[in-house]
Amino acid sequence: MTETTTLLAVFPDLEPAADGIEQLRSLGVADENMNVIAGIPVTEAMLGRPRQWSNVPRLAGGGAVTGFFIGLFLAVGTPNLYPILVGGQPLIPIPPSIVVVFEMTMLGMLIATFLGVFLDSYFPSYSPKEYVPEISDGKIAVLFNCPDKKQKEFVKAMTTLGAESVKPAEVQKL
């Protein structure tokens, strides 16, 4: 098994970082072995990376369906369980029932979305995270694994594409 080194390339802007990621792919680094660290929100499309899939939309849809049925039970089931007949009024009034069903649908979706984001982001995370002080200055860093034997080739490729620094990643105290 080959030994690998984790390198950290710091780029001044988004475009050279995207070119660097493309170059890393052509050198044989898989997307799972790259991590982009940025102080600004950067989407996958901006860097040409594959879209990351999430279960949050499915969980939100499930929460909405659950909330809909709970709202339906509150609006229709409760008056049928405990009928109170008032002269001239229907047992199940339509306008208030629509409001109850809508609100319970939205509440179910909101709760499921919150829980989905909470669980999908692996919060809380107790594993160590990478921190690069240059990121606070608006730069973009790419952390990647490369074989020890090809380290110089990777450093040269990143610096020719505009990386300000390419160095082995090391743990630093904050």
SS3 168: strand
When computed from its CA atoms, the radius of gyration of the chain, rounded to whole angstroms, is 26
63 and 14, same structural domain? no
In a domain, 79, yes or no: yes
105 and 146, same structural domain? no
In a domain, 46, yes or no: no
In a domain, 148, yes or no: yes
pTM over 0.75: no
In a domain, 97, yes or no: yes
Encode the chain (174 residues) as per-residue pLDDT tens digits. 468 888 888 898 888 888 888 888 888 888 888 888 888 787 777 777 777 778 899 999 999 999 999 999 999 999 999 998 888 888 899 999 999 999 999 999 999 999 999 888 777 767 666 667 777 788 888 888 888 888 888 888 888 888 888 888 775 555
SS3 105: helix
In a domain, 68, yes or no: yes
Helices 94-120 and 56-72: crossing angle in degrees, nearest 10, is 150
61 and 97, same structural domain? yes
Count: domains in the chain = 2
In a domain, 45, yes or no: no
The boundaries of the domain holding residue 149 are: 4-40+138-168
89 and 115, same structural domain? yes
In a domain, 161, yes or no: yes
In a domain, 104, yes or no: yes
